Amino acid sequence: MRFISFESNGRKSWGRVEGDEIVDLGAAAGAPVDLKSAIAAGQLDGESDAPRLKRASVQLLPVIPNPSKILCVGHNYESHRVETGRDKTSHPSIFTRFADTLVGADDPIIRPKASSDLDFEAELAVVIGKGGRNIPEAQAMEHVAGYACFNDASLRDWQWHTRQFIPGKNFPGTAPFGPELVTPDEIADLDQVEVKSILNGTVMQSATLDHMLFTIPTIIAYVSMFTPLSPGDVIATGTPGGVGAKRTPPVWMKAGDTIEVQISGVGSISSRIVDET
158 plus 50 within the same structural domain: no
56 plus 79 within the same structural domain: no
Place 72 in a pLDDT band, splitting at 50, 70 and 90.
very high
156 plus 208 within the same structural domain: yes
For the chain, what is the domain count? 2
Residue 48: predicted pLDDT: 66
Place 263 in a pLDDT band, splitting at 50, 70 and 90.
very high
Mean pLDDT confidence for 243-256: 97
118 plus 189 within the same structural domain: yes
Residue 83: predicted pLDDT: 87
110 plus 225 within the same structural domain: yes
Q: What is the pLDDT of residues 26-64, one digit of tens each?
A: 998 788 999 999 999 999 976 768 899 999 999 999 999
* Contact assessment for residue 255 and residue 210, using Cβ atoms and an 8 Å cutoff: no
CA distances from 228 to 130, 134, 141 (A): 11, 8, 16
Q: What is the pLDDT of residues 158-185, one digit of tens each?
A: 999 998 899 999 999 999 999 999 999 9
Residue 220: predicted pLDDT: 98
80 plus 134 within the same structural domain: yes
Kindly report the average pLDDT of the chain as a whole number: 96
Which residue range(s) make up the domain with 268? 70-275
Distance of CA 3 to the CA centre of its chain: 14
**65 assigned to some structural domain:** no
* Percent of the chain predicted with pLDDT > 70: 99
190 plus 262 within the same structural domain: yes
Residue 147 main-chain phi, psi, to 5 deg: -130, 155
52 plus 95 within the same structural domain: no
**206 assigned to some structural domain:** yes
30 plus 87 within the same structural domain: no
Handedness of CA 135, 141, 142, 146 (dihedral sign): positive
52 plus 84 within the same structural domain: no
pLDDT of residue 253 exceeding 90, the answer is yes
Q: What is the pLDDT of residues 7-33, one digit of tens each?
A: 999 999 999 999 999 999 999 878 899
10 plus 141 within the same structural domain: no
* Contact assessment for residue 196 and residue 150, using Cβ atoms and an 8 Å cutoff: no
In terms of C-beta distances under 8 Å and separation of at least 24 residues, what long-range contacts does 84-91 make, across chains too?
A: 84/246, 88/213, 91/222
Domain of 173: which CATH number?
A: 3.90.850.10
95 plus 42 within the same structural domain: no
Q: What is the pLDDT of residues 233-242, one digit of tens each?
A: 999 999 999 9
**264 assigned to some structural domain:** yes
- Of the candidates 12, 34, 60, which is a domain's last residue? 60
